[in-house]
Structure 1
Amino acid sequence: MIQPHAEGVILFLHIQPGASTTEVAGLYGDSLKIRVHAPPVDGKANKALLDFLTKLFDVPRSRVQLLKGETGRKKSVLIRGISLPAAKAVLPEK
């Protein structure tokens, strides 16, 4: 779900595009499930995901980077400049 990194933390995510709202939806196996309102077309869902994480963690967009999973539901995202305890405090405990 979340792992420390030299530059911040890495989130392991399972994305559900085309949902009614964009929100954290709990756990999905060993990943954090996030529902994204945008459809999985032309990178819209990825952009919506990164924008959502920017707001959720209150960091500049330049600190949020998609590492893996550009075309799939399983994604790895690096959030720079945030500690593991700070990241865990932001995420809901579901």
Structure 2
Amino acid sequence: MADAPWSAEADGVTLWLRLTPKGGRDAVEGVETMADGKTVLKARVRAAPEDGKANAALIELIAKTVSAPKRAVAIRSGETSRVKKLFIAGDPAPYIDALARLAQRNG
């Protein structure tokens, strides 16, 4: 996928994402190009952005979406921002495949 919001690394996948906390449901909603031209994956979670609850819900959602263990998903930057950089540790191929299928279905 051109301009995908993820990139394969030697030991996993880096993923850029825009999170909507208190979004009514837990879901990944496809790919979006933001006003600054950056491409991100859109996600929403039911949890409120307090005490790390929304970030924990996001980690669980992404892990489930790409079939990774929760311990493999980490927020690398943007802990308190809506736009976050995540890292999914492990073999990048299955994660990239899952994200590409998701983008085709929702994008």
Normalised by the size of structure 2, how large is the TM-score? 0.80
RMSD, aligned CA: 1.2
Are residues 1:9 and 2:17 paired?
Answer: no
Name 2:66's counterpart in structure 1.
57
SS in 1 for 2:91: coil
Distance in 2 separating the partners of 1:28 and 1:15: 12
Distance in 2 separating the partners of 1:77 and 1:13: 8
Comparing both structures, which one devotes a greater share of its residues to helix? Answer: 2
2:79 to 70, 80, 85: 70
What one-letter code is carried by the residue in structure 1 that aligns with 2:95?
A
Q: Give runs of aligned pairs for residues 22-37 of structure 1, distance below 5 A.
A: 22-29=26-33, 30-37=39-46
After TM superposition, the runs of 4+ consecutive aligned structure 1 residues lying more than 4 A away are none
**C-alpha deviation, 1:36, in angstroms:** 1.1
Comparing both structures, which one devotes a greater share of its residues to strand? Answer: 1
Unaligned runs of 5+ in 2: 34-38
Residues 51-73 of structure 1: CA deviation (Å, up to 9, x unaligned): 11111122222211110000000
Instruction: Kindly name which structure, 1 or 2, has the bigger radius of gyration based on alpha carbons.
Output: 2
Distance in 1 separating the partners of 2:72 and 2:21: 22
SS in 1 for 2:48: coil
For this pair of structures, how many residues does the alignment match? 93
What one-letter code is carried by the residue in structure 2 that aligns with 1:63?
A
- Identity over aligned residues, as a percent? 34
Are residues 1:18 and 2:22 paired?
Answer: yes
Distance in 1 separating the partners of 2:46 and 2:17: 15
2:97 to 67, 71, 89: 89
Distance in 1 separating the partners of 2:29 and 2:68: 21
Unaligned runs of 5+ in 1: none
Distance in 2 separating the partners of 1:6 and 1:37: 33
